[in-house]
Amino acid sequence: MRRRVGLVAGLGIAVALWTALLPTSLDALWPWAPPEVGSAMGRVGQVVDWLLQPTIAYLGLVALAVWAGRRRLYRLAAHLVLSVVLTFSFTTLLKATVRRARPETPWLGVLDAHASYPSAHSSALTALALGVIVLAVVARFSRRRTLALAVVGAVLVLTVWADRLLLHVHHVSDVMAGSLVAGLAVAMSWLLTDRRLSGPPEPVGVVAYAVVANPARVRDLALLRRLVDDAATARGWRGVGWFETNADDGGAGAAREAVAAGADLVLVAGGDGTLRAAARALAAEPGVPRDGAALAVLPFGSGDLLARNLRLPLDVADAVALAFDVRTAPLDLLRVTAAGREEIALVMAGLGADAAVLADTREPLKRLIGAGAYLVAGAKHVAARPVHTSIAVDGAPPVWGYTSLVGIGNVGELRPGVALMPEADAADGQLDVVAASPRHARDVLRMMAGTLVGSRREPGLDRYRGRLVEVTTASPVPCHVDGDILGEVTSLTVEVLPAALRVARTVTRER
């Protein structure tokens, strides 16, 4: 961190001194006169000017940010976007402040005659070149590929320098200043958004790991392999296999293969459904010592409720780094029995309106707008009709009432700061239960508002805690387990399995 702060400070001082002192003696390095209007050389310069203009460079950086975001490299995406903002802002501010006159030239066109310093073309192309290099480093491109991209970027920057000088729309000190300003902007963006781009990892010795990946969720398996291999190699880990899920195996079989191959840690890349299937294979039975493989979450789902509740990073590079931090914590699991099936859950099971919302949420819409798809589906169930329901906790006499939904959770947050069950703890050996009994749509809206502000005592919401919960309904209602729909049921039994799994949870130290 101190090195990066020093780099930003050094570049900031360099830009300030360059601007204040303005080394005009460098301008003599380009002694040639501009080409005549209509000449072949002049036309070439104009074409290069259009091809390498700042707008195209900035759009290129935004395109790289989209590429990174779609691959869950969120810090990298933020860095690239902020590079655009800072480079443009610094360049525009300096132009307006310095107001340096351009050289004598017939190629000025619509350019401001008093906005020579710094060169916007130079700053934008330099930012793009540096952005490509940062992307190559973060995405773990090969050294040869990274070097090739760096060479191409340097050639483009030198080309735009030469073009601006050829047309005499900038001085030599202007184009050099543009690259210096871009360097400051990129370094500052790096400091603010991507704190894990550098810093040597701490070796831990030879420990075995395996990866279980859902190719339907992971957009770029090759990128994930590079990230995992690089992090593992740097720490001295030994890979024992890469296993992918398929239509016949949602993750349990792949996780069992990983354990059979000798993995001490299984990295699971997918959504909550993939995690749930893998957890079933990795979980210890009640009363059996927990000495099997630990699970590391690489979140690639649309909701990623477990990752969010455990405060795990959603950025894939950060998640991979955390996975190899080797510090784990116990995690309770839920044994769910409904519709004649027994399932394992990590997050929650539910009956009623929440299951109906999940059933109505369309996968294409989830891929398009993420968690917003649940809000779209939820609009149809605001006025869900309550059902006569009984809830029995730890064998106590059942409590009867009319409910529109019953949620039984291992964790309580639907989104960061939005807790359906505020007291839920994934490692306390307890289940948290919430039962909603609204009389009309206004009650539903009030309950939603109470949940958003973290209210623990909202009229119409009843809460319970225990180790075993049995729910019975007078008529069939939709049921889900960790977001997977089981169909309509009239009974649901959920039992906690304390500390049945170990999960990587500790945030990697900042380098």
pLDDT at residue 65, as a whole number: 98
**CATH 3.40.50.10330 occupies which residues in the chain?**
208-326
Q: Is 175 exposed, middle or buried (0-12, 13-18, 19+ CB in 10 A)?
A: buried
Q: Is 495 helix (H, G, I), strand (E, B) or coil?
A: strand
Mean pLDDT value across residues 492-506: 89
| CATH 2.60.200.40 residue spans of the chain | 342-497
**pLDDT at residue 506, as a whole number:** 56
Contacts of 379 (CB under 8 A, 6+ apart): none
Name the least confident of 206-210, 247-251, 381-385, 393-397: 381-385
Please give the pLDDT value at position 353.
75
For the domain made up of 342-497, give the CATH fold.
Tumour Suppressor Smad4 (2.60.200)
pLDDT tens for 65-113 read: 999 999 999 999 999 999 999 999 999 999 999 999 999 999 998 889 9
Query: How much is the average pLDDT of 492-511?
Result: 77
pLDDT tens, residue by residue, 441-455: 555 555 555 544 455
- When pLDDT is cut at 50, 70 and 90, the band that residue 370 belongs to is low
Cα first-last separation, the chain: 6
pLDDT of residue 441: 56
Backbone conformation region of residue 346, classed left if phi is above 0, alpha if psi is from -120 to 50, else beta: alpha
Per the CB < 8 A criterion, the answer to whether 299 and 507 are in contact is no
CA distance 129 to 452: 43
Length of the chain: 511
Q: What pLDDT is recorded for position 510?
A: 41
What's this model's pTM, rounded to 2 decimal places? 0.86
Pick the CATH number of 2-193 from 1.10.520, 3.30.450, 1.10.530, 1.20.144: 1.20.144
Which residues partner with 212 through β-bridges? Answer: 243, 268
Within the chain, all domains assigned CATH 1.20.144 are found at: 2-193
Report the C-alpha gap between 101 and 113 in whole angstroms. 6
pLDDT band at 385 (very low <50, low <70, confident <90, very high): confident
**411 pLDDT above the threshold of 50:** yes
Mean pLDDT over the full length of the chain? 86
Q: Identify the CATH number of the domain defined by range 208-326.
A: 3.40.50.10330
pLDDT of residue 372: 52
Predicted confidence at residue 285, as pLDDT, reads: 65
Does 209 score more than 60 pLDDT? yes
pLDDT in tens, 295-323: 999 999 888 888 988 889 999 999 999 89
- Lowest-confidence pick of 158-162, 321-325, 466-470: 321-325
What pLDDT, on a 0 to 100 scale, did the predictor assign at position 511? Answer: 38
- pLDDT computed for residue 484 by the predictor: 81
Q: Determine the pLDDT at residue 203.
A: 64
Residue range 319-328: mean pLDDT, rounded: 86
- Measured in degrees and rounded to the nearest 5, phi and psi for residue 488 equal -95, 135
Judged against a pLDDT cut of 50, whether residue 221 lies above it is answered with yes
pLDDT of 488 over the 70 cut: yes
- Any alpha helices (H) in 290-351, and if so which ranges? 305-309, 316-323
Sorted by sequence, the CB contacts under 8 Å of residue 17 that are 6+ apart come out as none
